[in-house]
Structure 1
Amino acid sequence: MATFPHDSSTAPELLSFGEAMTLFIADRPGDMTDIETFQRRIAGADTNVAIGLARLGFHVGWVSRVGDDSFGQYLRKTLEGEGLDCRHLINDSEHPTGLVFKERASGGVDPRVEYFRRGSAASHLSPDDATSIEFTAARHLHATGIPPAVSASCRQLSWHMLERAREAGASISFDPNLRPSLWDSERDMCDTLNAMAAKADWVLPGLAEGQRLTGLTSAEEIADFYLSQGAQAVIIKLGPEGSYYRGKLNGRESEFTVPGFPVTDVVDTVGAGDGFAVGVISALLDGLSPHAAVRRGNLIGAQAIQVVGDMEGLPDRHHLTRLEAELPALD
């Protein structure tokens, strides 16, 4: 749940947008063909990050659509319960809420996921849904590569959000979050997402994502590519090995790798990258150093994979403070 209540009359300081879906997780490992019972939760990379930041006390506005159905009501209730400001969450009476079913994985293997989102309410998002947003009140916008892949109108909204946030002077983070199956072509995906990343201050790809988007091999080369496009910092996820940082923040240019936190019992790998984004974004907004931000990203990413569900492992502020207090001091 959110750490602090927020004044509903105050515009959100952070903005995020995309599709939240009702998630059904198998109650035991095995092929979903043989599973009869599922647990209901919520899913969506963009909402994972929004929820994680809200749990840390930030006033986060969520921009999306849900169907005028029980699944949409469940999503709204859950998101508001997590502290998200849902004044820009629209009820769509003409289109259904998207659904996703996920296997119960074991042994740290990525679970199989099946989506039922074509024609969903959120796929009909457009710039018209952002007309009432007070961008001048926003301190930060988090965007991913998922909305522009969902539909043409969602792509238009993505461009609108990036451009309006940039005009208002808000900082912007961008996680490519590749979903190749949603794109018409590899070239369209790479060209669009690289252009969107060029609008961001902080670019957060995984190593494999960066390689696919840029055609380059090393983390250093990928970072150079996005820095040359205008990013202030590029933070690349290296999996269990940790994360690589290169950029110029707080007037200082630096480059380093921060090792990951060992996890002995990996329960569910989905959401690790979203947890990483929560850590990096929250730390930079807290005014911490890039090194502290990357370490926090690794820390929260490690927390996220130790529980069932996409966002259940994201800590609140009290829990995060306790976890960080146990870490050695940074030089």
Structure 2
Amino acid sequence: MSHHPIHSPEILCFGEAMTMFVAETPGELAAVEWFQRRIAGADTNVAIGLARLDFRVGWLSRVGDDSFGTFIRRTLEAEGLDCRHLQTDPERPTGLVFKERAMGGIDPNVTYYRQGSAASCLAPSDADSVDFSGLRHLHATGIPPALSPSARELSWQMMEKARIGGATISFDPNLRPGLWPSEAEMRDTLNELAAKADWVLPGLAEGRLLTGQHSHEAIADFYLERGSTTVMIKLGPEGSYFRGRVGGNLESFTAPGIPVAEVVDTVGAGDGYAVGVISALLDGCSPREAVHRGNLIGSLAVQVVGDMEGLPTRERLAALEAELLAP
């Protein structure tokens, strides 16, 4: 069923959604016969997570004029995303990704077929129809700028127009070194984009690679000095670190991770974290509540095989938050 809200979206996400095939059985992909079809993409994981928490979320991208593009559109619309800015490209295919079934919580091997995909040819003109004045928040990641020069131009433009329109902006570096011509170019581009964001969400290893700094504080200060207001560093099972301006003061703290009985698939944990902190900050929660919710939703994401299947509804989130707070 299609959702076409009258109102334009309050949150906008953009990037590449791919059709994903997850191996039914562990082992090398060459030996796997059965796959399950899902949807993949860091940017859509966040969009879906925020839509499940009852925000009006728009998705800006391109898909091919093919069955996989139709599958992606239907899946996103069924999740309640506003797809008015999702173009169908008659010339180029939808990107595909194949994922191993990894055991014991190790990162699964992933094979992409995304070169020359419809979404890799995103360009500034794709944002022409966006009403930035009605936008409350823009979530950006380091993936679109890695796809092509035109997609990088679009990233700049989206962040600039959102800033002028008065929206808050979050940025998750989401390093994909294999998509960049060089590490230096990746580093420089992503640091420049991060400086345009209010809330920067790197993982610890990403933060070290991008800033050349080692400690949580130094990584955070690198972005705070360049104009961001808040840096939240993901520390995996250890939880996360917050450093930012709250009221007139600089506040910093570490929030412990939520223990997980069994890690099924680590993909999507960072996206779950982003859903938690962004939704909480937009809800008007305190930094501690935001980071706690980020840790919580990140912990849900690692307990399922899919990238976004663990993302909770508002009701489930409220129940889980109450359970964790119970004495």
What TM-score comes out, normalization by structure 1 length?
0.97
* Residue 260 of structure 1: aligned partner: 257
Q: Does 1:21 align with 2:18?
A: yes
Secondary structure at the aligned position of 1:103 is classed as strand
Q: Could you tell me how far apart the structure 1 residues matched to 2:202 and 2:260 are?
A: 21
Q: Does 1:298 align with 2:306?
A: no
* Residue 65 of structure 1: aligned partner: 62
Unmatched 5+ stretches in structure 2: none
Summarize deviations over 1:73-99 as a string: whole Å, max 9, x none.
Answer: 000000000010000000111000000
Give the CA deviation at 1:253. Answer: 2.8
5 Å-filtered alignment, 1:135-150, equals 135-150=132-147
* Residue 150 of structure 2: aligned partner: 153
Q: 2:23·2:29 contact (CA, 8 Å) conserved in 1?
A: yes
Aligned mate of 2:129, from 119, 127, 132: 132
Q: Does 1:117 align with 2:114?
A: yes
Q: Could you tell me how far apart the structure 2 residues matched to 1:289 and 1:6 are?
A: 32
Q: Does 1:310 align with 2:307?
A: yes
Q: Could you tell me how far apart the structure 2 residues matched to 1:40 and 1:252 are?
A: 48
Q: Does 1:96 align with 2:96?
A: no
Give the CA deviation at 1:185. Answer: 1.1
Aligned mate of 2:5, from 1, 5, 8: 8
Give the CA deviation at 1:138. Answer: 0.3
Give the CA deviation at 1:47. Answer: 0.2
Q: Does 1:33 align with 2:30?
A: yes
* Structure 1 residue identity aligned to 2:228: A
* Residue 205 of structure 1: aligned partner: 202
Is 182-191 or 55-64 further displaced after alignment? 182-191
Q: Could you tell me how far apart the structure 2 residues matched to 1:246 and 1:10 are?
A: 34
The number of residues matched between the two structures is 327
Q: Could you tell me how far apart the structure 2 residues matched to 1:112 and 1:130 are?
A: 33
Summarize deviations over 1:253-305 as a string: whole Å, max 9, x none.
Answer: 31000000111111010000000000000000000000000000000000000
* Residue 243 of structure 1: aligned partner: 240
Q: 1:6·1:59 contact (CA, 8 Å) conserved in 2?
A: no
* Structure 1 residue identity aligned to 2:40: A
Secondary structure at the aligned position of 2:62 is classed as strand
CA change 1:326–1:250 in 2 (3 A) is farther
Q: Could you tell me how far apart the structure 1 residues matched to 2:285 and 2:197 are?
A: 19
Q: Could you tell me how far apart the structure 1 residues matched to 2:139 and 2:110 are?
A: 24
* Residue 226 of structure 1: aligned partner: 223
Unmatched 5+ stretches in structure 1: none
Q: 2:3·2:78 contact (CA, 8 Å) conserved in 1?
A: no
CA change 1:310–1:53 in 2 (3 A) is same
Aligned mate of 1:74, from 65, 71, 75: 71
What TM-score comes out, normalization by structure 2 length?
0.98
Q: 2:3·2:77 contact (CA, 8 Å) conserved in 1?
A: no
* Structure 1 residue identity aligned to 2:138: L
Q: Could you tell me how far apart the structure 1 residues matched to 2:94 and 2:250 are?
A: 44
Aligned mate of 1:195, from 192, 197, 211: 192
Q: 2:13·2:140 contact (CA, 8 Å) conserved in 1?
A: yes
Give the CA deviation at 1:6. Answer: 6.7
Aligned mate of 2:316, from 307, 312, 319: 319
Q: Could you tell me how far apart the structure 2 residues matched to 1:142 and 1:249 are?
A: 21
Q: Could you tell me how far apart the structure 1 residues matched to 2:6 and 2:88 are?
A: 21
Q: 2:4·2:82 contact (CA, 8 Å) conserved in 1?
A: no
* Residue 40 of structure 2: aligned partner: 43
* Residue 287 of structure 1: aligned partner: 284
Q: Could you tell me how far apart the structure 2 residues matched to 1:274 and 1:265 are?
A: 19
Is 180-189 or 16-25 further displaced after alignment? 180-189
Q: 1:60·1:85 contact (CA, 8 Å) conserved in 2?
A: yes
* Residue 277 of structure 1: aligned partner: 274
Summarize deviations over 1:46-97 as a string: whole Å, max 9, x none.
Answer: 0000000000000000000000000000000000000100000001110000
Q: Could you tell me how far apart the structure 1 residues matched to 2:72 and 2:178 are?
A: 25
